[in-house]
Structure 1
Amino acid sequence: MNIPKGKLLIIGGNEDRSDSDNEMEKINQNFVSHEILKLLINHENDRIEVITTASSEPESMRQTYTETFNQIGFTNFDFLHFDEEQLHSDFYIERIKAAKTIFITGGDQNKICNKLNETEISGILHEKYKNEEGFLIAGTSAGAMCMPKIIIGEAVNGEAMLKDDIKMVSGLGLIDSCIVDTHFVHRGRFSRLAHAIILHENHLGIGLGEDTALLIEKGDQAMCIGSGNVVIISGKEILQTNTNTAVKGKPIYAENLKVHMLTDGCCIHLTNGAVKPPL
């Protein structure tokens, strides 16, 4: 297996930016202003292309991130909101090829996957991620959820896990053997990610808190960054579950589902699940 030369940055949403309203940022002693978004570039001239295709309000996204990037001091960035014509335009394809960072905003993860999967743009992203040193693909909220091979397409966000209350679909395929959920604590999404992992026991569930991210290097070495936490759910040691026998609408149970809690500076190996505390 070839080790990717690029990096991934998956963000739980509501990262510190011009319109952020996260109370945790104000009281957490580890909070650093714009800490996560500052990771988008290594050098001041690095080109950022912001993909707003997941959003139903691309102009609002454009305004917010323009203000935020200006505050940080970024100067070399622009926005793409792909329609069918742009997906096949040499001009936009060349912009993706020339970018040092691709940043996918929030919205609906299904929109971005339906638009980009099996396109030349998707192929370029995979190629650059695998082979280009220093290349970064970042995503926040839906932009993070869309990155794995299998993603949560639809789910009932209730307290109980019910048979057939979750729909898994194909994602962009940049992350193997993990399923990502965002706004994880704030929106009470433990049950839906746990259900996804019970259905896919060999995958690792990544529940990203707001203003919190995992920076993934070499394909599976991840560090937690930000003012919240990341919840890791493992189903690899499940002893009992009724997911294969329950009828539609009946609650799902599982024995020996395991959970890890990561905070700023913690590291996790996404293949073997080993966790390291902050240095």
Structure 2
Amino acid sequence: MTSFVKAVRFWCASLVVLAVQSALAAEAPPKGNLLIAGGAVRADNVQVFQKLVELAGGQGARIAVMPSAAGNPERSGNNLAATLKRYGAQAFVVPVAVRLKDHDYKRDADDEALAKQVREAGGVYFVGGDQGLITKALVHPDGSRTAVLQAIWDVYQRGGVIAGTSAGAAIMSATMYYEADSVLGTLSGGVNDGRELAPGLGFVGTDVFVDQHLLARGRFARMLPAMLKKNYKLGLGVDENTAMVINGQREVEIIGYQGALLIDLTEAKTNGDEQRFNVSNARISYLDRGDRYNLRTRQYTPSDDKKDGKLDPAHPYLKEPVYSADILGHNAILVMMERLITNERTEAIGIASAMPGDPLEDLGFEFKLTRDATSVGYESATADAYTILNLRMDVRPLRMTRPWYR
């Protein structure tokens, strides 16, 4: 890609960001709710789908299904609508998608008849796929809203629910990952506007970064460079088959199969003398299903099964080192956090490294978690489940060595 094309893409992205931020700043706080799912939501996830129908108005509620992100919009839209109907909703598909055959998405996105249908719904649901296709279909090149997108905002403003899974979760914040590299690639190569990062739709506001597939794909690590780049202090990453509901009072509730990670960079610092990615004093918390967290007050409310389960740091029941050779692996960060919060040891180390043959195979990163006086843990009385609050996280680059016999 030429430097001219890169410059044009950055300029265009900057215009869209300004347009999104200006639009959000000019509007009153929405009265509605967000239901943000981390991807791979199973059709039998009763808690998530029943909550969505409830927030949209209850049995018989009209829910607009947006298949814009899907590779096969017709199939994905119809499947999701059928699932919602089984839970009692009157779901209908809105045919606005770049990849929808025999349709002109630019014309459809500004079709006032389609916009009216959406505006009269109690909720809107974005299916998964490619989040770049959502913004391409619903946002004009100058960053202004199409008629259908404005109708979606009208639903949210008056008290309806805006929901999405995977790509549909990524567009919830004002910044989203776009042409993303691997998780390790974002740490080693950095992130840039108009390439790895692009404007989202901003439903959650401009102060919180949202990401998805968090624990299953180790994406907590890629939240860090994005948040630092765009000066976010708070980030929420939700795991698969799980959702977080955010209401008009900025209260977050976790529902579904697992939980979400909260990243706080309020006191975080970086070492400018080090060329590779690094951060110190980031704070990481795990919110389990049933937990609540207020984004305004930073107050945590445990789920009912954890109300009497606050851990006593003076009486840990583990006394072993906590280490992971693949901190970006499936659920690895959560396992390490759980083992640290119940341990007499106060530090845990996790390593991330490239695969052999990678151009940067000698580069790795150390993730150090520290339990200090501000760290708190809660244990469920009914399941082997924990909530872990406010562990310190420091990340520094490492030089990796490979076997001598290669």
TM-score in terms of structure 1 length: 0.85
Q: In structure 2, which of residues 172, 178, 201 is the aligned counterpart of residue 153 of structure 1?
A: 178
The CA distance in 2 between the partners of 1:69 and 1:158, in whole Å, is 33
The CA distance in 2 between the partners of 1:85 and 1:63, in whole Å, is 21
Show structure 2 runs of 5+ residues with no match.
1-26, 97-104, 305-406
Flag the 1:171–1:116 CA change in 2: closer, same or farther, 3 A.
Answer: same
| Counterpart residue number, 1:24 | none
Partner AA of 1:129 in structure 2: Y
Partner AA of 2:289 in structure 1: D
**Deviation string, structure 1 residues 216-260 (Cα, Å, up to 9, x no partner):** 101521111111110111111113344xx66xxx53000001101
Q: In structure 1, which of residues 219, 240, 247 is the aligned counterpart of residue 270 of structure 2?
A: 240
Q: In structure 1, which of residues 129, 150, 153 is the aligned counterpart of residue 156 of structure 2?
A: 129
Q: In structure 1, which of residues 248, 260, 272 is the aligned counterpart of residue 285 of structure 2?
A: 260
Greater Rg by CA:
2
Alignment partner of 1:35: what SS? Answer: helix
| Correspondence 1:63-212 to 2 at 5 A | 63-74=78-89, 76-82=90-96, 83-117=105-139, 118=144, 119-130=146-157, 132-133=158-159, 135-159=160-184, 161-165=187-191, 167-176=196-205, 177-212=207-242
The CA distance in 1 between the partners of 2:180 and 2:217, in whole Å, is 13
- Count residues in correspondence: 257
Q: In structure 1, which of residues 36, 45, 66 is the aligned counterpart of residue 48 of structure 2?
A: 36
Alignment partner of 1:16: what SS? Answer: coil
Is the Cα–Cα contact under 8 Å of residues 120 and 155 in structure 2 kept in the other structure? no
More deviation, 78-87/48-57: 78-87
Q: How far apart are residue 272 of structure 1 and its match? A: 4.3
Q: Does 1:10 align with 2:24?
A: no
**Deviation string, structure 1 residues 1-55 (Cα, Å, up to 9, x no partner):** 844211111000111216xxxxxxxxxxxxxx42101122232121011000111
| Counterpart residue number, 1:225 | 255
Partner AA of 2:75 in structure 1: S
More deviation, 158-167/216-225: 158-167
Flag the 1:238–1:272 CA change in 2: closer, same or farther, 3 A.
Answer: farther
Flag the 1:69–1:124 CA change in 2: closer, same or farther, 3 A.
Answer: closer
Percent same amino acid at aligned positions?
Answer: 25
Partner AA of 2:84 in structure 1: F
Flag the 1:241–1:268 CA change in 2: closer, same or farther, 3 A.
Answer: farther
Is the Cα–Cα contact under 8 Å of residues 269 and 275 in structure 1 kept in the other structure? yes
Flag the 1:52–1:109 CA change in 2: closer, same or farther, 3 A.
Answer: same
Alignment partner of 1:151: what SS? Answer: strand
| Counterpart residue number, 1:26 | none
**Deviation string, structure 1 residues 96-121 (Cα, Å, up to 9, x no partner):** 11111100000111111122122122
More deviation, 173-182/114-123: 114-123
The CA distance in 2 between the partners of 1:273 and 1:197, in whole Å, is 18
Partner AA of 1:58 in structure 2: P
Alignment partner of 1:155: what SS? Answer: coil
Show structure 1 runs of 5+ residues with no match.
19-32
The CA distance in 2 between the partners of 1:71 and 1:210, in whole Å, is 21
1 or 2 for the larger relative contact order (CA 8 Å, sep ≥6)?
Answer: 1
- Give the alignment's Cα RMSD to 1 decimal: 2.1
Alignment partner of 1:256: what SS? Answer: strand
Alignment partner of 1:255: what SS? Answer: strand
The CA distance in 2 between the partners of 1:252 and 1:113, in whole Å, is 29
Q: In structure 1, which of residues 58, 65, 73 is the aligned counterpart of residue 73 of structure 2?
A: 58
